[in-house]
A and B are shown apart, each in its own frame.
Chain A
Amino acid sequence: MSLIEVRHLCKEFKIAKRQEGLTGALRSLFHRQYTTKIAVNDISFSIGTGEMVGYIGPNGAGKSTTIKMLTGILVPSSGEIRVNGLIPYKERRRNARQIGVVFGQRTQLWWDLPTIESFELLKQIFQIPPDRYRQNMALFNEILDLDEFLQTPVRQLSLGQRMRADIAAALLHDPKILFLDEPTIGLDVVAKERMRSFIREINKNRGVTVILTTHDMSDIEKLCQRMILIDKGQVMYDGELTKIKETFGKTRILIVDFEENIDDFSLDGVEVIKQEGNRRWLKFNREVHTASQLISQISEKYEIKDISIQDPEIEVLIRNIYEHNYTLDQVFTDKTRI
């Protein structure tokens, strides 16, 4: 059996409808109308030990809601969840011991106390043996440089420091599974890279299973072999990242620097998607045209200074999926692995 099993998971929220105006406000005092919002709609997947899975989708797709059900915070409306054999919301306390959670937009540290105090508190909460605590702190310190701010109150930390502290806090009790809800949100490039290498380290060397949600596709590209893509509460793709590139990435982009400015550039099967000075970004389908064909056609008509070909970026691919509402069933034969 897999470490995490999700079967036909659904979550609905009842939202009180606000009625307009003063009379509406008064009316809603006595008679409330509710609308039902379906945040997660029949999601199924399973995750094995040691996997690192990117759980992605646009805002409001149901990512965080799923994470909150997996961690036991929210109670599902229907469907089943097993995390290492436990039903999270029924056995919250036992589940808490086997998972670590980071919410990028919140902190689990005590705001007003020096950072080290929160770690000491977690040591007591999870009853971490002193030796293990020391080892973990030493390791986290090595990669995350916690030392430089351990004595600083959490409210005075920079976002990058706070995130480092938060992820260390989530891992102090040696959880089997780590849930990361937007762990790199708002971080600069250096801080992001640091977070990523730490996550990689934890996954590789400690075998911690990692599930992360993010909007930053480079997080996914650099960290995950597998990606679960959801939209409107449903799984749209579940599989390897390379596969989505292969199957979906029929598009190539040719970047051409012309010698002079060309106003009326056009070529069959090529779409200008961007221009900047004498540079044009040309989109084409690599199954219809080859790059060399296009280059020779262009160079026949115009003077070319420089040329390069861009691979499809995962971000662009995913945008395509959302915007054009491609049903992935058609695109992928192996839509889900379940």
Chain B
Amino acid sequence: MMKTFKMYLEFTRKSFQRSAAYRVDSWSRIIGNIMSLGIWGCIWFALYHGHDSVENISFQSMLSYILISMALQGIHNAGTPLWEIQYRVRTGDIAFEMLRPYDYPLRMLFTDLGSISFHFVTAILPLYIVIFALFQPDIPLSASQWGLFILSAALGYLIRYSLELTFGLFTFWLIETGGVEDVFYFSISLFSGSVVPLWFFPDWLERLASLLPFQGIYFIPNAIFIGELSGQEIWPALLNQVIWLIICYGLLRFVWNKASMKIVVQGG
């Protein structure tokens, strides 16, 4: 058990090292992240123009929401399971993953954790310390709020990971997955509350979003971070995340089992 864990952890280490070999990539991601932060900051500033609060959400809260959301997105974007599995299926390198005594989805997760931690330590963390110092957004006020936020963010990450890898696995059937990808990224950017919190949605859309797994990715952790979700309200939100994680992970296992029996190796 311990040995198995050590083995997976080795992938985290190797992928951390590999990320270090590609610093330019890290910087370009950071620039992209700052740009979208700038754009969404401006959009929300314009939307709030002349109003102290909209639907009981102050501009200060909204700014905090978008800042923490962008920080989380910066972290998520360092892991690329969808892109990676597509690449492997297209090139046929997926064959080697079948020749290893490990579980591929799990090893991918640990590999992603490596590039994510590299990206977090070298880019996201220093960048957002500066930004938070500049804009003074609302941050968690207690250790328990921090703890719940981190727990919720981790659950959100795992939900997104399971969903993204599941979508990536459709490559086994489709080879070209441009359309599937678009559906996935569109759903994530809209329903997760990545840039527009769910409480600004029209009622019908909010109801729809609350029935989907995506809100657990950014919306719930963001809301906990800025204190919009607090006290007793946090528990059902976390429970929602846990249930969705179980469902999404189950779906991932199911699709993986099907996919690995259907493998076609490209290029001989």
Chain A residues in contact with chain B, CB under 8 A?
Answer: 13, 64, 68, 71-75, 89, 92-94, 96-97, 99, 101, 103, 105-106, 108, 110, 112-113, 117, 120-121, 124-127, 153
Known contacts A117-B17, A124-B10, A125-B102; 12 additional CB pairs below 8 A are: A75-B262, A93-B100, A93-B101, A97-B101, A99-B99, A101-B99, A110-B14, A110-B18, A112-B21, A125-B10, A125-B100, A126-B101
Please tell me the number of chain B residues within 8 Å of chain A, measured between CB atoms.
28
Identity of the chain B residue whose Cβ is nearest the Cβ of A13 in the assembled complex: B264
What are the interface flags for B39-76 relative to A under an 8 Å C-beta threshold, 1 for contact and 0 otherwise? 00000000000000000000000000000000000000
User: Can you give 13 A-B contacts (C-beta < 8 A)?
Assistant: A71-B98, A92-B98, A92-B99, A97-B101, A106-B91, A106-B95, A108-B99, A110-B18, A113-B14, A113-B18, A125-B10, A125-B100, A125-B102
Q: Which residues of B contact A99 (CB under 8 A)?
A: 99
What are the interface flags for B225-268 relative to A under an 8 Å C-beta threshold, 1 for contact and 0 otherwise? 00000000000000000000000000000000000111111011
The answer to whether B21 touches A71, judged by C-beta atoms less than 8 angstroms apart, is no
Chain A CB within 8 A of B204 CB: no
Q: CB < 8 Å: which of A75, A103, A108 contacts B263?
A: A75
The answer to whether A153 touches B263, judged by C-beta atoms less than 8 angstroms apart, is no
Q: Which residues of A contact B265 (CB under 8 A)?
A: 68, 73-74
Binding site secondary structure of chain A: mixed
B43 nearest CB across to chain A (Å): 37
Q: Which residues of B contact A92 (CB under 8 A)?
A: 98-99, 260
Q: Given A106-B95, A112-B22, A113-B14, check contact A127 B3 (CB 8 Å).
A: yes
The answer to whether A125 touches B261, judged by C-beta atoms less than 8 angstroms apart, is no
Identity of the chain B residue whose Cβ is nearest the Cβ of A15 in the assembled complex: B264
A163 nearest CB across to chain B (Å): 15
A123 nearest CB across to chain B (Å): 9
Q: CB < 8 Å: which of A64, A89, A96 contacts B268?
A: A64
Q: Which residues of A contact B260 (CB under 8 A)?
A: 92
Chain B residues in contact with chain A, CB under 8 A?
Answer: 3, 6-7, 10-11, 14, 17-18, 21-22, 91-93, 95-96, 98-102, 260-265, 267-268
Expressed in whole angstroms, the Cα–Cα distance for A110 and B260 within the complex equals 22
Q: Which residues of A contact B268 (CB under 8 A)?
A: 64, 105
Identity of the chain B residue whose Cβ is nearest the Cβ of A94 in the assembled complex: B101
B73 nearest CB across to chain A (Å): 25
A36 nearest CB across to chain B (Å): 14
Q: Which residues of A contact B95 (CB under 8 A)?
A: 68, 73, 103, 106
Expressed in whole angstroms, the Cα–Cα distance for A113 and B14 within the complex equals 8
Expressed in whole angstroms, the Cα–Cα distance for A101 and B101 within the complex equals 13
Expressed in whole angstroms, the Cα–Cα distance for A13 and B263 within the complex equals 11
The answer to whether A73 touches B99, judged by C-beta atoms less than 8 angstroms apart, is yes
Expressed in whole angstroms, the Cα–Cα distance for A103 and B100 within the complex equals 15
Q: Given A75-B263, A93-B101, check contact A153 B93 (CB 8 Å).
A: no
